Homo-oligomer: A and B are copies of this chain.
Amino acid sequence: MYVTIPTDHRRSNPITPLKSVMTKTAEARLKPGSYLYFEGDEVEWLYQVMVGVLRLTRLLADGRRQVIAFAYPGDIVGFPANGLHHTDCEALTDARLQPFRRAALENGEGDAELHAALLQSALREISAMQDHFMMLGRKSACEKLASFLCVLTERVGEEVGGYMQVSLPMSRSDIADFLGLTTETVSRTFTQLRKSNVIAIDNIHTIIIRRPTALLSLSLGDGD
């Protein structure tokens, strides 16, 4: 499940690994900055993220970029369309991935359980992307960033000293390209949230949620 506004899937299901009764393929490992695949590549494998964070991006001819999703442990990346990858996929951190043959999705390969799990994952992704449409099309900069932090806190936040804390392995421009903003706007919005004491910025990559309910309100547009 990808980082978008959640529909219902809570952290109730933290990282249900898909287990295949078939060929137990060895986990893949990635270093930060290395690519798993590129747009246009033939799809041979899907991958479940076991450890780490990946970034899926698409480029426009003139260099404008859209981050499609950040993939966290439990998520599946690499769904094919007409047999091809439609995004670039880069590791933001050290990562470990469990590969599944594309055929496991497309014809089951005799493993009905795995097949069903991959399909459900694809369907959840459709729903998650629909949420993200609302974010991109209809939310203000502040609502976008607040939503983003809420979702991340929900999925991968850790409690530290009575507050939830979130690690942001991606750069400000990754966040900007995910939310349809510029880095400057992302930066200003972080500052604004910090000054209004909704969050604290421990360091650039670590955010502390000081007022979770305020953050949630902002994410829903009650901030007016």
A residues apposed to B, CB below 8 Å: 7-9, 58, 60-62, 64-66, 68, 79-82, 86-87, 105-107, 112, 116, 119, 122-134, 136-138, 177, 179-180, 220-221
Contact = CB atoms under 8 A, between A and B. Distances in A.
A9 B134 contact: no
Given A81-B7, A82-B9, A129-B129, A58 B123 contact: no
B138 A60 contact: yes
A61 B131 CA distance: 13
Contacts of A220: 60-62
Nearest to A137: B180
Contact of A79 (B66, B126, B179): B126
Given A60-B221, A61-B220, A82 B136 contact: no
Given A81-B123, A119-B119, A221 B132 contact: no
Given A81-B7, A116-B107, A138-B66, A58 B133 contact: yes
Nearest to A1: B81
Nearest to A56: B130
A105 B8 CA distance: 22
A137 B221 contact: no
